[in-house]
Amino acid sequence: MSTVQSILAITDFSLGARHAVERSVRLADELGISRVGVLHVLERGLMDGLRQLFGGASDLPESFDVGARQTLERLLREVDAPAGVELEALLRSGRPLTAVLAAAEEYDMLVVGARGQTKRQRLALGTTSRALLRAHPEPVLVVRESPTGPYRRVLVAIDFSAYSETALAWARTLAPSAALNLVHVFDNPSPRSASYVRVSHEGLAKFRRRLLLKAERRMEELAAELQDLGQPLDQRIVAGDPATVLLEQAAALEADLLVICKHARPTTEQLLLGSVTLRVLDDSVCDVLVVQ
């Protein structure tokens, strides 16, 4: 299983970011993690603009720094971490994405809110999910709601690659007592795509059956490997568009966490592409963990 010894939560002081901090503290308590950093970034461009607006006042950076630090420390007091969990207030200035990535190098997992201060902000700090997820090599947990308890129902997207093994390991790490639901999306080759290589409908049907049988066999093998896991386990294969199926399955299962890889295997069974991951992040009603 994967291990987590430190967590970095990002805050822009929005409600969504507060949920990320709350989930980080709860996970630390549940998993016996003592080190949790909470990072706020003062945007250099904003400070430069204000300095120009006020005629180059030299005390602006210092006043903003003091105000931000006071707000950050107040947030940490309000979150009220349990005994054994140490919250560290981190204040940086610069470009948000650059500052986050630099700070995250010292932590095992990054936690962000799904909503920033404006509707246009997909993640806290206004960084785009595409830029952050592509640039950061460690798992990123995107939190949508305030936590009410540990994760209980976890959906893990499976494509039978090494990436899937990583996703499953992280699901078990963050939710060791949760019911695990393994979902493989069988993305049927379409008649239109077959026409490009002059495959008959009969040939396409045989190809589909072969892929489906292969997926069923591999799912059975995976379930057999996990039978002594000690966690409730369910597995299913569903045909359809990958992003749509994962979102529908998560809703039907009332999952509180969806674990997905940000890379896919380069085969005809290609699932979990970057566009799929981004659609899941945009439309999921539960938290999403994106792993490398």
134-181 tens-digit pLDDT: 888 889 999 998 999 999 999 999 988 888 889 999 999 999 999 999
14/46 same-domain check: yes
Mean pLDDT in residue range 209-236: 87
186/118 same-domain check: no
Confidence of residue 271 (pLDDT cuts 50, 70, 90): very low
How many separate domains does the chain show?
2
98/206 same-domain check: no
The confidence score (pLDDT) of residue 135 equals 86
What CATH number should be reported for the domain holding residue 189? 3.40.50.620
More confident call, 292 vs 274 = 292
Lowest mean pLDDT among 3-17, 135-149, 262-276: 262-276
Which residues, at least 6 apart from 63, have a Cβ–Cβ distance to it below 8 Å? none
Lowest mean pLDDT among 119-123, 198-202, 226-230: 119-123
Token couple for 64: 């903003």
The confidence score (pLDDT) of residue 228 equals 79
**Torsion sign over Cα 279, 282, 286, 288:** positive
Give bridge partners of residue 6 from the DSSP assignment: 35
- Four-point Cα dihedral 15, 17, 22, 25, nearest 10: -160
Q: Are the C-beta atoms of 153 and 178 separated by less than 8 Å?
A: yes
pTM for the structure as a whole = 0.84
Q: How much is the mean pLDDT over the chain?
A: 82
The confidence score (pLDDT) of residue 282 equals 86
pLDDT at 112 over 70: yes
168/60 same-domain check: no
pLDDT at 267 over 80: no
Q: Supply the range of the domain harboring residue 74.
A: 6-143
In a domain, 259, yes or no: yes
The confidence score (pLDDT) of residue 186 equals 84
Least Cα distance to 93 among 71, 135, 62, 55 occurs for 62
The confidence score (pLDDT) of residue 45 equals 55
In a domain, 148, yes or no: no
Q: Among the three residues 143, 162, 193, which one is the final residue of a domain in this structure?
A: 143
